Amino acid sequence: MQCQVIEARYRELTSGSARAFSEARRWLPGGSSRQAGYWHPYPLTFVRGEACYLWDLDGRRYIDLLGNYTALVHGHAYPPIVAAARTRVDSGSCWAGNNEEQVQLARLLVKRVDSVAQVRFTNSGTEAANLALMIARRWTGRDKVLMARGGYHGSLMEFETGFGGATGPLTRIAQYGDLGEFQKVLSEQGNSIAAVFIEPVMGAGGVIPGDATFIEGVRQAAHSAGALFVLDEVLTLRLALGGRQGQLGVIPDLTLFGKMIGGGFPVGAVGGNQELLKLFNPDQPRIFHTGTFNANPVTMAAGIASVEALTADRIDQMDVLAEKLKAGLLQAAIKAGLALSINHIGSIMNLFFSESSGTAYGRRDDGELMARFHLAALNHGLFLAPRGLIALSTVMTESIIDEVIERATDALLDIASTGPRAD
């Protein structure tokens, strides 16, 4: 029971969050409205964020290594985003009509991503995936979706089924990275599949990059079967000016956007060619799609500031810092006598307490050790995802990464001294 030492220290340091969670459970099921925002024994309640730092109810400061699951690519309260949102709010926050900001943000996305000619905005990545599926079903006259086992495209039932690793009435799955398996499903069942959805990097699955041969092969197989090919860039747009598809040289039929294009406000979008997007033409709509807060002017203003600030130089800077952090964490694990492997691409990575990297969905052999490290990291002022996901932001510096490595080393030594080692 030595591992209880880390949890006891967590409880000692975060009594304010414990009380807040107890109150939350009276009014919210399980005390939360977001599965990814919960961990045992209770989540922290934050009161403020600035740059790459968060402060909780007890006044403790954390280096934020998650950025709301990659969404805050410029950290918290980024001054240009705050200024843009404040200016927009001062002149009204929403109305039933157009706003100029949505045109400006759409133009920015079209200029960045070669496969996109027009954009349709929603309020989340989940809604964007739902909208893309609506397009595919209307375009093909089919109803099923093919996706990767453990892939994540939001909480629509069809995608939740595949994320859980199962097939369903409207869901078919294949192993990520296995082109032959995707080709087999499409060859045998393609006449019922409306679209193939793929992440160019499996995010929730553990930061697993797909190579150009696999992604392009799936695209070709989808087209051969008469299905649309949808690339989910909600997470990966941060990796390059043209998204991951630009790095791979792949041209999808539809692209999903979200997270960083909203500047910290709720957002999602579907981009594609004019032929597909004209299904929404309000003069002759073939798909009915509306939403009270679609293309909300505050979100659009914040999104413009966020996208404009993500330059190639800043992307490169994050990549360099991520390499430094990865090397430092691996060296720290050696010092602590712990097995550690890291899936990594660009400014995002996922930790695994094992000799070889794996996946973060389903059952993990290192689950207990990962949970222990998560609490130990919080005790030392580092905030990362319970599953080991890390996403850097443009406001980080080399000195901050040095501090992260120092704190992570202490956390790793804590877990090494409180239970069995993973070597």
Report the pLDDT value the prediction gives residue 360, as an integer from 0 to 100: 63
Whether 79-309 and 4-73+311-416 are alike in CATH topology: the answer is no
CA 344 to chain CA centroid, nearest Å: 14
Question: How far is residue 75's CA from residue 94's CA, in Å, rounded to a whole number?
Answer: 25
Cis check: omega of the bond before 29, within 30 degrees of 0: no
Which residues are paired to 202 by β-bridges?
A: 208
Question: How far is residue 347's CA from residue 277's CA, in Å, rounded to a whole number?
Answer: 31
- Decide if pLDDT at 419 tops 90: no
- Decide if pLDDT at 3 tops 80: no
Vertex 241 angle, CA 388 and 78, to 5°: 65
pLDDT digits (tens, 9 = 90+) for 54-83: 999 999 999 999 999 999 999 999 999 999
Residues 6+ apart with CB under 8 A from 17: 42, 43, 44, 45, 56, 57, 58
Mean pLDDT value across residues 319-336: 98
Say which CATH topology domain 4-73+311-416 has: Aspartate Aminotransferase, domain 1 (3.90.1150)
Report the pLDDT value the prediction gives residue 2, as an integer from 0 to 100: 54
- Decide if pLDDT at 422 tops 90: no
H-type alpha helices, 196-237: 212-224
pLDDT digits (tens, 9 = 90+) for 231-243: 999 999 999 999 9
The residue extents of the domains of the chain are 4-73+311-416, 79-309
Please name the amino acid found at residue 309: A
76 within 8 A of 46, measured Cβ to Cβ: no
Question: How far is residue 191's CA from residue 93's CA, in Å, rounded to a whole number?
Answer: 45
User: Phi first, then psi: what are they for 173, rounded to 5°?
Assistant: -130, 155
Report the pLDDT value the prediction gives residue 401, as an integer from 0 to 100: 98
Question: How far is residue 148's CA from residue 258's CA, in Å, rounded to a whole number?
Answer: 20
Say which CATH topology domain 79-309 has: Aspartate Aminotransferase; domain 2 (3.40.640)
Residue labelled with tokens 């209307």: 138
- Decide if pLDDT at 421 tops 70: no
Average per-residue pLDDT in the chain?
A: 96
Question: How far is residue 239's CA from residue 248's CA, in Å, rounded to a whole number?
Answer: 11
Question: How far is residue 238's CA from residue 316's CA, in Å, rounded to a whole number?
Answer: 11
Active site (catalytic) residues: 152, 232, 259
pLDDT digits (tens, 9 = 90+) for 142-156: 999 999 999 999 999
Residues 6+ apart with CB under 8 A from 222: 146, 186, 193, 195, 196, 228, 229
Residues 6+ apart with CB under 8 A from 326: 342, 344, 349
Report the pLDDT value the prediction gives residue 356, as an integer from 0 to 100: 83
Report the pLDDT value the prediction gives residue 418, as an integer from 0 to 100: 73
pLDDT digits (tens, 9 = 90+) for 154-172: 999 999 999 999 999 999 9
Query: Distance of CA 193 to CAs 103, 277, 367, Å?
Result: 33, 20, 35
Residue 188's pLDDT band (cuts 50, 70, 90): very high
pLDDT digits (tens, 9 = 90+) for 253-300: 999 999 999 999 999 999 999 999 999 998 888 999 999 999 999 999
Lowest-pLDDT range of 32-41, 183-192, 228-237, 363-372: 363-372
Lowest-pLDDT range of 143-152, 350-359, 386-395: 350-359
In our burial notation (b when 16+ CB lie closer than 10 A, e otherwise), range 164-185 reads: eeeeeebbbbbebbebebbbeb
Of all residues in the chain, what percent carry a pLDDT higher than 90? 94
Length reported for the chain: 423
192 within 8 A of 182, measured Cβ to Cβ: no
Report the pLDDT value the prediction gives residue 358, as an integer from 0 to 100: 76
